[in-house]
Chain A
Amino acid sequence: MTYLKSTLAASALIALSTGLSAETIGPGGESATPSSSVVVSDGHIAVVQAADYSAALLWHDQSDFVNAVTAGASDEFERLGIEVVAVTSAGFDAAKQRSDIETVLAKSPNIILSLPLDPVTSAAAFEEAREAGVALSFLSNLPADYQHPDDYAAIVTDDLFQMGKQAADALATAMGNEGTVGWIYHDAAYYVTNQRDNAFKTTIENDYPDISIVAEQGISDPARAEEIANVMLLKNPDLGGVYVTWAGPAEGVLAALRANGNTSTKIVTLDLSEPIALDMVRGGNVAAIVADEAYELGRAMAASAVLDLLGENVPPFIVAPALAVTADNVVEGWKKSLNIDAPASLSSK
């Protein structure tokens, strides 16, 4: 009973993520507010600069995605005259995340932007920052039992439903709206991937009557993607398409298709990756990659925390748009998603 009580928020996240909702919804059932509407106006700049705020960015890991979120947040903070005093990476280690929070509090930041690794372990980890009155803007996840607006400024995340839906639409288009599909989903109670994976499945089931999902396989270790795909292809040699929960395991699935000499099965996955995109522009198995606007996520996180410090009303649940990247728009898509130029291998094609 006590366990259930304490993990209410976590359970809510999971329950909502596995539901059949047709839009991205927040952990408390909040409707999504587009990130474009969360803006610190130029009129506020003088007030913010006079307040001499500082910020810390406490990330879960390092990646192109995190770099882009950092760039978006840092540029917004620079525009507003806010110093970024520390940037950390927990390497997906909950204990390190707690240590990082304690360490940066020595510098007394007014703002912390972070991705809480896990609702349960993060609840105690962020407690000190919450008690110190730091404006907390969370990426994609929420510590259990934290209440808006008292405990945090906002959760900012991708338009998760749209990411899954656009992946389904892109795969269906590549398959001529008919055939069989394998669904490789993230086998963990993780809000982001669960919503995206289920949105793909829901869209295929509801919108594409001539496409059937004939194989389902969870994955928790990306290194096992190749063997999972091999088994899936062995049982379903005529598979028209495969959805892979994110780009890391998709690289393993692509390797399996190549090893089998399979050029007909299409892959759709989420989050940008150069090897996956290279296959796509070369007309290989990959049909599309659905990405998020990571730079915009960072900007919106920074803006929401600043608005909170200014005493403005901040929407509890903010989403940045999804972006379907195909061979035709890979250069523009890369720039829009990660705010960096597409790798030379892609732009030269």
Chain B
Amino acid sequence: MTKAINTIRSLDLQRSVIYFGFLGIFLFFAITLHDDGFLTSRNLTNIVLQTAPATIMAIGLVFALSAGEIDLSFGSVVAVAALSAAIAMQNGPIIYGVMAGLGAGIVIGAFNGVLVAYLRLPSFLVTLATMGLFAGIARTMTDLRSIPVLNDTFTGIFGSGKLFGVPSLVIWTIVAVAIGHIIYRNTRFGAHVLAVGDNARAAQVSGIKVPHVRLMVLTLCGATAGLAGLLYAGRLQAAKYTLGESDLMTVIAAVIVGGTALNGGKGSIIGALLGSLMMGMLNNGLILMGLQVSDQMIVRGLIILLAVAISLRETRR
């Protein structure tokens, strides 16, 4: 008995909250919305498809937060990347689009990274500024016009296609999470990220190139936002300057709820995936419950508040 209590006590509640939260919300909707199509494979697949871009952005943000940095600009990067890809494919092959989209994300991420790592500016302020900067650039790129994406190969790979019956967005999610998780948990770079976030001075003394790590995590954030932009462009078969605008808070909430510490040194890619799916499941389930829009927002806000509160409370201990 004592052993069991000790085991429960030793559980990392911050890490566990996402698993219990995810399971609890899933079971609640599964029971209450049993007759409303929640448990249909189509609906559950939809949740994964709808959250794929946010999940991929969350992976980048886990690295940044774990290193003690933050990126607020990734929503704007999504729009720039999607528009860059769409414009490049108007008169060019798919590879131009992919390179333009991913390239835009990487370049913007590296731009943030250089300012933070080598000019020693706080990432919060740098990315707050570049969030506005690149939102403005996204608007001017096409004079606020939406650009259609008509390349069927592109929309198949990044949007509505399937491989062996599995939707491409599900594959992107699985591959990105797997790669992210392995890098985060099993590589020297992942260890360096956590060391820098835990104590940058100690990391520096132990020989870790702290500025390099900071540059890399912010570049990674840009790259994941670039990939998210490609997924949005593929899914909507179009790019628009508003893409990604509303993702900032969703992604931050998904990452925090998923067990990543705001002040660095601790995080979880799997947790971020579950956090992102939880956000998608909440959106989906509250709509299917037939709630009015305002009520959907209130309930979603309260649940996120509860989950974040539990996560952050444990972090401070």
Contacts and interface: CB of A to CB of B under 8 A. Distances in A.
Interface of A: 2-3, 6-7, 10, 59, 62, 84-89, 91-96, 98-100, 102-104, 106-108, 118-121, 123-125, 144, 187-189, 220
A214 to B, nearest CB: 25
Contacts of B6: none
Given A2-B90, A88-B287, A106 B43 contact: yes
Given A108-B37, A189-B144, A95 B290 contact: no
Contact of B287 (A104, A108, A118, A119): A104
Nearest to A106: B37
Contacts of A188: 144
B173 interface: no
A3 B149 CA distance: 8
Interface in B241-258: 242-243, 245-246
A6 B46 contact: no
29 contacts: A3-B90, A3-B148, A3-B150, A6-B150, A10-B146, A59-B293, A86-B288, A88-B287, A93-B242, A93-B245, A95-B235, A98-B236, A99-B283, A99-B284, A102-B49, A103-B284, A103-B287, A103-B288, A106-B38, A106-B42, A119-B146, A120-B148, A120-B238, A121-B236, A123-B237, A123-B238, A124-B160, A124-B235, A124-B236
Nearest to A92: B242
A85 B290 CA distance: 6
A87 B295 CA distance: 11
Interface in B110-162: 139, 143-148, 150, 160
Contact of A95 (B46, B145, B150, B243): B243
A95 B146 contact: no
A62 B297 CA distance: 11
Given A102-B50, A104-B287, A106-B37, 14 more contacts: A2-B150, A3-B90, A3-B148, A86-B287, A87-B292, A93-B246, A94-B243, A96-B246, A102-B46, A106-B42, A106-B43, A106-B46, A107-B36, A123-B148
A7 B284 CA distance: 31
B184 interface: no
B101 interface: no
Which 10 pairs across A and B sit closest by C-beta, in order of nearness? A106-B37, A120-B146, A124-B237, A99-B50, A89-B293, A106-B43, A121-B238, A6-B148, A120-B238, A102-B46
Q: Is the interface on chain B under 10, 10 to 19, 20 to 34, or 35 or more residues? A: 35 or more
B236 A125 contact: yes
Nearest to B292: A87
A52 B40 CA distance: 22
A118 B283 contact: no
A123 B42 CA distance: 21
B240 A121 contact: yes
Nearest to B86: A3
B133 to A, nearest CB: 15
Nearest to B246: A93
B72 to A, nearest CB: 18
B279 to A, nearest CB: 11
